[in-house]
A and B are shown apart, each in its own frame.
Chain A
Amino acid sequence: MEILILLIIVAAIFYALYVGLIHKQNAAKESFSGIDVQLKKRHDLIPNVLTIAQKFMDHEKSLLTEITALRTKAESPIDPTNDDSLKQKFAAEAQLDSKMKSLFVAVENYPTLKSDTVMVQAQQTYNEVEEHISAARRFYNSAVTELNNAVKVFPGSIVAGMLAIKEMPYFEATEADRKEVNAADILK
């Protein structure tokens, strides 16, 4: 009788850990889709910005072409449970973001474009989207922290191993983002 009660308690603990891990994994996937939603908004905004820019920026055609290509690459669907796919996705989005920042810096050299009302509005909207992306990344990292803690800490780690539930990667700043900004490089 005591053995039966003990088995029931162990089964209940196992079930609770199992449910907890599945919830946390789903929360992390949901948070990733939250980033995706914001990234989609950015992707949708980029063609508008490029259309306005190419009317004025005759000498930046290569940059505009590069951004279009990066956008197409970043839009490719991925499997959010695959670590390598996630890292590639983050890297592609980081490259796209970097090129868009270069574009906005280049806009400063075209006074007519810089003061164009539509362009100003587009830049403000783009900045707003970036802030939403930042918020979505914070949520993603928060959800991944909860999942990774549950996967690594005993006894959840045993259940996670049995169910093949792995840690997910954090969204981290790139090396370029971590480097100190050299004003001389920008102002030359």
Chain B
Amino acid sequence: MDKIQLGEFINSIAGALEIKEGNQYLEVTVPPSLLYKLARQLREKEESQFDFLFCITGVDYGADLGVIYHLRSTIYDHSVVLKTRTSDRENPILDSVADIWHAADFHEREVYDLLGIKFKNHPDLRRLFLDNSWGFPLRKDYVDDVNIVTK
């Protein structure tokens, strides 16, 4: 499917979502409550079959924390980007997609480790690189007087 067909298809299964034709991939903004349902449908529906989750990126947008999922179908060779945001910086919780794609297991642990976003129903949500005494270094308001030299 090309970008336009894909956009129509996603609207038909998930209702009216904010869909932007990015410079490379189709970008779909999903509210956190719909994310898991849409991800599962995109994986399982015969027309889309997004079986390869190749990247999960956590982003600190300032007011919000967001997660970006890059999906591709190895059968049809089309790609889509799902974006979701939460405004709760104290206790951000999103649904885990680790039971849909195995790759999400490590990627979500990395996002939790560096940005502090928790994933509900993740099989083993522990910190990956850093130990528990650290803050969340990829947040923009992270302060570390000892290890980060600012000019």
A and B bind: no
B interface residues with partner A (beta carbon < 8 Å): none
